[in-house]
């Protein structure tokens, strides 16, 4: 069965603010012991409120999320298109419809993304793919500036490798 699968990692970062309230609760107990008319009590409450506003602990939580997306629909549509292409090629032998259906639908499914790493060329990335040929799997490496170009180059390389 032919699948187009892509695995990518997304880093989710969340900032969590946590107030520090241990000193504040002790200070509130001290403030409650003073008489209401004492100006120190008013100052004490001001300092308590000021500390609640100022003292915060910031924590950054970073979690990697791995996503794998596999498209089965392309494979199914490819087989329906292949049936139509066989009929077209029977009527028009120079149309080459079967070749185009295999190129557009089935070749992409024979390529599976494996990994990527920075390239020696600045601004480019080395992508590793597995090409699933009838004679066995072959690992291919393409260098490209982004994922779309890498996928196109991998399909072209897979066609050359599996031919």
Q: What is the pLDDT of residues 60-84, one digit of tens each?
A: 888 887 766 665 666 677 788 889 9
The answer to whether residue 119 scores a pLDDT higher than 60 is yes
Percentage of the chain modeled with pLDDT above 70 = 74
Give the gyration radius of the chain's Cα atoms: 32
Query: Locate tokens 């597995």: which residue?
Result: 130
Which residue has better confidence, 26 or 15? 15
Output the pLDDT for position 105.
65
Average pLDDT over residues 45-71: 71
Starting at the edge strand found earlier in the chain, the sheet holding 136-144 runs: 111-118, 125-133, 136-144
> Same domain, yes or no, for 125 and 79?
yes
- Residue 52 — pLDDT band, cuts 50, 70, 90? low
Output the pLDDT for position 60.
86
Let me know if residue 148 belongs to a domain: yes
Task: Please state the pTM of the whole predicted model.
Answer: 0.38
Backbone angle region of 37, left / alpha / beta, with phi > 0 → left and psi within -120 to 50 → alpha: alpha
Output the pLDDT for position 59.
84
Let me know if residue 95 belongs to a domain: yes
Give how many domains the chain has, as a whole number: 2
Q: Which of 62, 87, 103 is the last residue of a domain?
A: 62
Query: Locate tokens 């910031």: which residue?
Result: 58
Let me know if residue 80 belongs to a domain: yes
> Same domain, yes or no, for 22 and 80?
no
Which residue has better confidence, 86 or 103? 86
> Same domain, yes or no, for 49 and 95?
no
Let me know if residue 4 belongs to a domain: no
CA dist 159 and 80 (Å) reads 21
Query: Locate tokens 């020696």: which residue?
Result: 120
| Helix intervals (H) in the chain | 22-33, 39-54, 73-91, 97-101, 107-109, 147-162
CA dist 157 and 150 (Å) reads 10
Q: Is 38 helix (H, G, I), strand (E, B) or coil?
A: coil
The answer to whether residue 2 scores a pLDDT higher than 50 is no
Range of the domain at 149: 70-162
């Amino acid at each position: 069965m032919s699948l187009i699968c892509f695995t990518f990692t997304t880093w989710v970062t969340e900032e969590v603010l946590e107030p520090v309230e241990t000193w504040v609760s002790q200070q509130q107990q001290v403030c409650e012991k003073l008489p209401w008319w004492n100006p120190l009590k008013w100052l004490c409450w001001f300092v308590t409120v000021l500390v609640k506003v100022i003292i915060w602990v910031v924590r950054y939580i970073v979690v990697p999320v791995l996503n794998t997306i596999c498209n089965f629909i392309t494979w199914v549509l490819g087989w329906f298109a292949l049936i139509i292409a066989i009929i077209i090629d029977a009527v028009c032998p120079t149309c080459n419809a079967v070749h185009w259906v295999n190129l557009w639908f089935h070749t992409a499914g024979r390529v599976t993304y494996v990994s990527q790493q920075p390239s020696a060329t600045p601004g480019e990335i080395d992508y590793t793919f597995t090409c699933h040929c009838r004679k066995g799997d072959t690992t291919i490496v393409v260098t490209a500036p982004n994922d779309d170009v890498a996928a196109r180059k991998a399909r072209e390389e897979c066609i050359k490798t599996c031919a």
